[in-house]
Chain A
Amino acid sequence: MKQHIHLRFFRPVSFLFLILLTAATAIAQYKISGTVVDNNGRPVRGANVYLDNTLDGGTTDSMGIFRFTTSEKGNQSIVASEVSHETAGLPIVITGDVSGIVLRIQANKAHDLDMVVITAGSFDASNDKSKTVLRPLDIVTTAGANADVVKAIEMLPGTQQTGTENGLFVRGGDASELSILVDEMVVQNAFFSGPPGVATRSRFGAFQYQGVSFSSGGYSARYGQALSGVLELNTTDLPDKSTVNLGVNMAGLYASGTKKWKKSALDIGGSYNNLTPFYGLATTNFKFYSPPVGYNGNLRYVWKPNKDGILKISANGSYTNSGIAIPNPYTAVQNATSPYLYAFAGLPDTVDFITRDQYYYTNASYKQLFKDKFSLYTAASYSLDSTKNKFGTVPINEKDQRAQFRIEGKDYFTSRLNLLVGGEVQNYSISKDFDSAYRQNYKETQLAGYTELEWTPINMIAIRPGLRYEHSALLNKDDIAPRISMAIKTSAHSQISLASGLFYQDPEDLYLLAGLRPGMQEAIHYIANWQYTKDDRTLRIEGYYKKYEHLILEHDSTYDPNAYRIITQSTIVDNSGYGYAEGAELFFRDKKTVKNLDYWISYSYIDTKRKYENFPTEATPTFIANNNLSLVAKYFVDKWQTNFSATYSYASGRPYYNPNNPTFLGDKTPDFNNLALTVAYLHSFGKWFTVFYLSIDNITNQHNIFGYRYTYDANGVVTSAPKSPVVPALYRSYFVGVNMSLTQFKKDEL
């Protein structure tokens, strides 16, 4: 009964309401239509057009036309949004149907893919940056590099081919002018110890790094003490999964394991190296009576306490032992009146060289980003390299130590403006003794502070000015090094980059060990490049001019071609040396034209001269080839799951010292040629992902010559005996190995 009344009471109301509603809709359904165009007037398809704060809206068709109906009226705002455009709106007044609305939306939404990136003087091999032309994987798959990061960099513009010396020779600079950094910390002994005249591998395997950045000049104010460039390696973050990795190759055995927890991971690895099979199969030029044998162990812990923070601690230890009979580089030093050390006088022309090296490296770093606004990075490292070598009968002991601490903060004011401020302290020492009788040592402490501003006022312009202050306790000198680099986008796919700056570096170990304390050496860089990147094709042309000032010059020396010479404190030196380097470089890479084919061409031309060290006159140094060319190609055959990679390298002749030629360094060696091939076959054995690889270096068994040596008599006068060529330790060599990794061994994944 009650319900009945209730119903009766409400029925007319609901009825009325129904009429009212229908009437309202009938009256208020307005048609809204128009078009959405971009800033060039082209129609935009798929744009969402709607009245703000309502569900009333439509999507544009291929002509950019939208239509929808609404019951809203009065003052409204109509908004158009599309994923690759900026959202834009217009106020409209709805009193009836509205048609012909034109909404204009900007097509230049800033994506990292479109933003200009400063590239002058630098090559990045990184996983996060989209503009990089090189990936870490590229390093492993480059034939002739043997998975050595530094060797792979020699396939890039601005570097010289090496065969008998360690290090990267960048744009007229010698090996000491490049600084190698791991997680922003300097690595003191980046290469395995070896005898003079034999190039050894760098200590860096490609898989430990997620990014490699090579700068052949104009680098950031964050770094100093390198006249030519820096090679930055960034270690990997928290691994993906727990893994086990095993391998065997002609250089030894290795095993490593990664245990991953939710927010942390522990890596343990070890290896036993024995190069007997490698040297056994190669065409060797020296007698390895005791081929290199060694052990290596490493431990690493990574912890991610939160989404934006990461702590890394690593420790590494290794031991190497080798014995080789090498041509004595000191044969020219027979003269007791020479300012050089004469401890090696009287040794035979070929001497046995024994290397025993212990190396320890440890690094801890912590990085934290706070609310996407401020980032803090701090790191500490320590390394100790202790070698007990024997040169014939003369024992040579050396101990190198380095400790470094760095702290820096970066404030991201906006996504277009950030400021870096940091400081570092480095303390390092080298002590050396010969036959326990003759000792040399030095200890240096350096302090540095730096700041760098990164500003992208508009998408097409980026500018990065920086300033670095350095203090050397050993030399008691202070220096200020300003740096600047910038980039301007010249079209959708091309850009121009410029860089310049002042770079300082301590005198070479040779002088510091002798107790000499001249001032800092200096270089000024001017770099300009043009880069075109589209669809996995990159073309880059770079030119530079580099001026050297205050290089170390010896005043009372006669030229000694021995690169391993030792001098005494009585040598008169100052900072009056000078020089220049200028050149043009070309890089072209194409991953697009042929499917699965990736190739690049790198060509460098350089003109450089300097008067430094014991040069009697300005000349092109012996490590410079005016023309360097590398052709790298990689092709993956899907059907065979096999990757083929070939590299051809060419360098024109290098100057060498001929004591009979009145023109200093006036002779040149024959050209350098090298062809290398790597084949890698991928296969999964159950859950074991396996890679078999075979590399052949110098396939044609080319007898490359890096210089010549002359014979001298007891008075230091050159004899008429024929000159002998300076050759690498190996000509053609083979490398075979297999790597197995097990990623998925968690039983509970399913």
Chain B
Amino acid sequence: MKKMILLGAMALTIVNAKAQDFKPVLEKTFMAFDTTWDQNAKIEQSNKLSLIAKKWDNEWVTHYYAAYSKIALTYQEKDGPKKDAYLDEADKELEDAITILKKQNDETYVLGAMIANGRIGVDPMARWQKYGSIFSGDLESAKDINADNPRMYLEQGISKFYTPKAYGGGKKAAMPYFEKADALFAKEAGTPAANNIAIPHWGKRTNDYFIGLCKQEDKE
């Protein structure tokens, strides 16, 4: 009898392990990724996010974070072909996420825009025309779904921030976008999303960082 219970318990444990909630491990890994500036540590956590996406293959959000991490890896990468390779991986993960969702949501559109922006970064002169329209198109689509998505304004702000002043960019032009995003981040913090890794809510830290950079201009 005891043996039977034991066996049953063991069977249960195995089943449980398989269906184990992905959220804690995803959250832990993502936080580790998002809070370090060290590229090697970022690569390590991004590798883990890939494994999580592989294991919980039917959860769109695991692919979403894997894609996000690949995009973020390009920010400190200098080599053009390698940046492209990361973005290729991000594209694949994003496609998986969209396939599971069956339809794009505002967050996948924002990610699509970020990939396009990353492509421009590899060769701006050659690519702005093609990827510039994808970038703005994806953000527009995101806005149609949810005009209160703070990440959308954050990405627009970053794009403005890095556009030369002569072309209508710069700190001053970017600031309103970060401010708008800031208000929306504050709003988001009060929703259930803020405590649920399965609902993307990243970006406040980056937004604060850029607001800080924009304010520095006043001292100049």
B contact residues around A127 at 8 Å (CB) = 126-127, 129-130
Within 8 A of B (CB), among A44-68: 45-46, 48, 50, 53-55, 57-59, 61
Count contacts on B: residues with CB < 8 A to the other chain. Answer: 46
Tell me whether B13 and A689 are in contact (CB under 8 A): no
Verify if A271 is at the interface (C-beta below 8 Å from B): no
Chosen A-B contacts, 17 in total, with CB atoms closer than 8 Å, are A13-B6, A46-B43, A54-B55, A83-B85, A83-B89, A84-B85, A127-B129, A128-B126, A128-B127, A135-B126, A137-B125, A210-B130, A236-B129, A240-B132, A683-B166, A684-B168, A750-B153
Contact with B along A220-242 (1 / 0, CB 8 A): 00000000000000001111110
Tell me whether B140 and A262 are in contact (CB under 8 A): yes
A750 to B183 alpha-carbon distance, docked (Å): 12
B contact residues around A114 at 8 Å (CB) = 81
Specify the chain A residue showing the minimal Cβ separation from B167: A689
A684 to B165 alpha-carbon distance, docked (Å): 7
B contact residues around A419 at 8 Å (CB) = none
The bracket for how many chain A residues form the interface is 35 or more
10 other A-B residue contacts (CB within 8 Å) besides A16-B9, A45-B40, A53-B54? A17-B13, A50-B51, A57-B48, A83-B82, A84-B85, A236-B129, A240-B132, A641-B165, A684-B166, A750-B180
DSSP majority for the B interface?
A: helix
A132 to B133 alpha-carbon distance, docked (Å): 21
Across the A-B interface, give the 3 residue pairs with the lowest CB-CB distance, nearest first.
A48-B47, A59-B44, A682-B166
A749 to B10 alpha-carbon distance, docked (Å): 57
Contact with A along B46-74 (1 / 0, CB 8 A): 01101110110000000000000010010
A49 to nearest B CB, angstroms? 8
Tell me whether A682 and B80 are in contact (CB under 8 A): no
Tell me whether B50 and A130 are in contact (CB under 8 A): no
A190 to B127 alpha-carbon distance, docked (Å): 28
Tell me whether B81 and A84 are in contact (CB under 8 A): yes
Specify the chain A residue showing the minimal Cβ separation from B80: A113
Verify if A427 is at the interface (C-beta below 8 Å from B): no
Specify the chain B residue showing the minimal Cβ separation from A262: B140
B contact residues around A126 at 8 Å (CB) = 126
Complex partner residue of A57 from B5, B51, B86, B125, CB under 8 angstroms: B51
B contact residues around A241 at 8 Å (CB) = 136
A81 to B53 alpha-carbon distance, docked (Å): 15
Count A-B pairs with CB separation below 8 Å: 108
A687 to B168 alpha-carbon distance, docked (Å): 7
A239 to B140 alpha-carbon distance, docked (Å): 14
DSSP majority for the A interface?
A: loop
Within 8 A of B (CB), among A663-692: 682-684, 687, 689
Verify if A701 is at the interface (C-beta below 8 Å from B): no
Contact with A along B74-114 (1 / 0, CB 8 A): 00000011101110010000000000000000000000000
A212 to nearest B CB, angstroms? 13
A54 to B133 alpha-carbon distance, docked (Å): 39
Tell me whether B44 and A684 are in contact (CB under 8 A): no
A127 to B43 alpha-carbon distance, docked (Å): 31
Tell me whether A48 and B126 are in contact (CB under 8 A): no
Verify if A109 is at the interface (C-beta below 8 Å from B): yes
A contact residues around B84 at 8 Å (CB) = 111-113
A59 to B33 alpha-carbon distance, docked (Å): 14
Tell me whether A55 and B136 are in contact (CB under 8 A): no
Tell me whether A48 and B54 are in contact (CB under 8 A): no
Complex partner residue of B177 from A109, A684, A750, CB under 8 angstroms: A750
Verify if B212 is at the interface (C-beta below 8 Å from A): no
A526 to B64 alpha-carbon distance, docked (Å): 52
> Given the known A-B contacts A111-B84, A111-B85, are A130 and B123 also in contact in the complex, defined by CB atoms under 8 Å?
yes
Tell me whether A239 and B133 are in contact (CB under 8 A): yes
A585 to B50 alpha-carbon distance, docked (Å): 50
Specify the chain B residue showing the minimal Cβ separation from A45: B40
Verify if B200 is at the interface (C-beta below 8 Å from A): no
Verify if A20 is at the interface (C-beta below 8 Å from B): yes
Tell me whether B133 and A21 are in contact (CB under 8 A): no
Verify if A622 is at the interface (C-beta below 8 Å from B): no
Tell me whether A59 and B43 are in contact (CB under 8 A): yes
Verify if B25 is at the interface (C-beta below 8 Å from A): yes
Name, among B81, B140, B165, B167, the residue most crowded by chain A CB atoms within 10 Å (CB to CB).
Answer: B81
A137 to B126 alpha-carbon distance, docked (Å): 9
Specify the chain A residue showing the minimal Cβ separation from B160: A744
Tell me whether A109 and B176 are in contact (CB under 8 A): no
